[in-house]
Structure 1
C-alpha cells in the first residue's frame, strides 16, 4: 500500500523540499497551498517528472472546511492519509512594543490555529502507522529580538506536539516536531540585508545556513522509519543551540 502525505505550505521553501523528498521516498503527496497556484503546480509537475505521485489542493490552513476538503481529496485520490507535515507559516517581525496587533492576529491564525486545524483532521483520519510532523523553529530557544509573535506561535506548536502524541495513545501514530535553525528560504531571507544573513550563517558550528533539503531529511526520517521517536522536538539547526 502506498503511503500518502498531506503537506501544508508545500509550494515553497521547507514544505516544498519535504514534499519532494517524501515523493522521492515513494509517498504520494498532496500539496496544500494558500494562494500561489503557479508554484504549487510547478511542485506537482516536478514530482511527477521525477516519477512520483502528487496533486495540489488550495486551502487556508486556518479554515476547517477547506482543510477537511483537502483531506477528502487525499482520500478520494490516493485512498487515505498516513503522513501530515504542518509546514504552512508566516513570519512577520516586530518588537512586542511596536507590533501591529492585526499582524499578530494573522500570525496566530496561520501558525497556531492553522497547525491546530490541520492536526485535528490528522488526528481524526490518519491510518495506523501514521506520522504527524510539526514545523517549529529554533528561534524558540534563540530568543532573537523582534521574533516574539512568531516564537510565541512556535512554542505553542511544540506544546501541542506533546499533548497530541499522548492523545493518540494506542493508535500507532507518532507526533513530532522539527525545529529548523536559520534556513535559506524566501520566508527567512526576505527583508534581511547580506550582513545579517552572513552573521546568522556563521553562528552554527557548521558555519552555514541550513538548506530546505537538510530539514526535509529529518521529515523523511520521522515520516517513515522513525517509529520509536514520538513526542519529540528535533532541532535541525547545525548546532546553533
Structure 2
C-alpha cells in the first residue's frame, strides 16, 4: 500500500526539477498525479516516465499566470478523477539576478510577481474551492530560503515574491484550518535544477564558493530530497502541521543567521 493510494494530486511546474521529482514521488506512492506546466514536450516526458514505471499521470498544459488555464486545470482534474486531495504549487521564475533594486525594470518585477506570487494565489483560489467540495485537502506552496532572508545581493523581486508566498500560505492556513484544509510551505535552498546546474557548468569555481558559503553540508541538494519533504507535508503523518515553513536547505539558513 502506498501512502497516497488513489489520492489525486496536482503539481504545477511539474516538467522539471523539484516539480518533476515531486510528481514522480507521489506517483510512486500510488497517487493519481495531474502534471501542470507550460512546456508540452517536457510535461509529456514526465507523464510518460511515470506511466512507464507503472504510475498514473495526466499532463495538462497550463500557464499558471492565466486564470482561464488554472480554472481549466482544476476542472479537468475534477472531471477526470472526481476530486482533489493535494496540490503542490511549484511553478516559478528566478527573475533578474544580481540586479540592484533600483535597476530592476517594471516588466521584470511584474513577471516575477505574477508567476511567483499572484499565480500561487490564483491556483489556491481554485484548489481550495475543489477541496472544500471534498471536505479536506492539503496544499504545499514552494517558496525559497530567500523567503526568509535575502541570501545574496540583487535578488529583490525574487525575495519579495517568496516572502509573499510565505505570508499568503500562513493566512490561508488560518482561514481554512477548521475546514479540513492544511496549507504549508517548503523553502528549498540551492537544489539541482536546470537553472542551478547551468550556473554550475558555466562557472564551476564561483559556484563552489557559493555552495561553500551557503550550505552547512557543503553541497547542492537533490530535487528528490525536496520532494520527500513535500510528500510528508501532504501526508496524514503531518496531520497537525499547518502554516509551517519547512526549510530544506542543508542548513543554509541556520548557517547564515
CA RMSD of aligned residues (A): 1.4
Give how far 1:122 is off. Answer: 1.3
1:96-134 CA distances to partner (integer Å, 9 max, x unpaired)?
121221111111111111111001111111133411000
Q: Does 1:161 pair with 2:166? A: no
Q: Partner of 1:235: helix, strand, or coil? A: strand
| TM, length-normalised to structure 1 | 0.95
> Which residue in 2 is equivalent to 1:122?
127
Deviation at 1:141, TM superposition (A): 3.2
Is the 1:13–1:187 Cα contact (8 Å) retained in structure 2?
Answer: no
Which has the larger displacement, 154-163 or 199-208?
199-208
Query: Is the CA contact 2:233–2:241 (under 8 Å) kept in the aligned structure 1?
Result: yes
Q: Which residue pairs with 1:29 in the alignment?
A: 33
State how many pairs are aligned.
Answer: 240
C-alpha contact 1:200 1:209 (8 A) present in aligned 2? no
Residue 147 of structure 2 corresponds to: 140
Tell me how far apart the structure 1 counterparts of residues 48 and 239 of structure 2 sit (CA, whole Å).
31
Between the aligned partners of 2:178 and 2:26, the Cα distance in structure 1 is 25
Q: Is the 8 A contact 2:147 2:161 kept in 1?
A: no
Among 4, 9, 31, the residue aligned to 1:5 = 9
Structure 2 residues without counterparts, runs of 5 or longer? none
Do 2:149 and 2:159's aligned partners in 1 also have CA atoms closer than 8 Å?
no
- Quote the offset at 1:67 in angstroms: 0.4
1:207 equivalent in structure 2: 218
Cα distance in structure 1, aligned partners of 2:216 and 2:89 = 28
Alignment of 1:162-201 (within 5 A): 162-191=170-199, 193-201=203-211
Aligned with 1:15 (options 7, 15, 19): 19
Report deviation, 1:191.
Answer: 4.6
Residue 45 (structure 1) aligns with = 48
Q: 2:107 matched to which residue of 1?
A: 102
The reply to whether residue 112 of structure 1 matches residue 117 of structure 2 is yes
Structure (1/2) with the larger helix percentage: 2
Q: Quote the Cα distance in structure 2 between the aligned partners of 1:2 and 1:75.
A: 14
How far is 1:142 from its partner?
4.3
Decide whether the 8 Å contact of 2:18 with 2:224 is kept in 1.
Answer: yes
Pairing of 1:49-68 with structure 2 (within 5 A): 49-68=52-71
1:234, 1:158 → 2: CA distance? Answer: 10
* Structure 1 residue ranges without an equivalent (≥5): none
CA distance in structure 1 between the aligned counterparts of 2:104 and 2:115, rounded to whole angstroms? 17
When the two structures are superposed, what TM-score results if normalisation uses the length of structure 2? 0.90
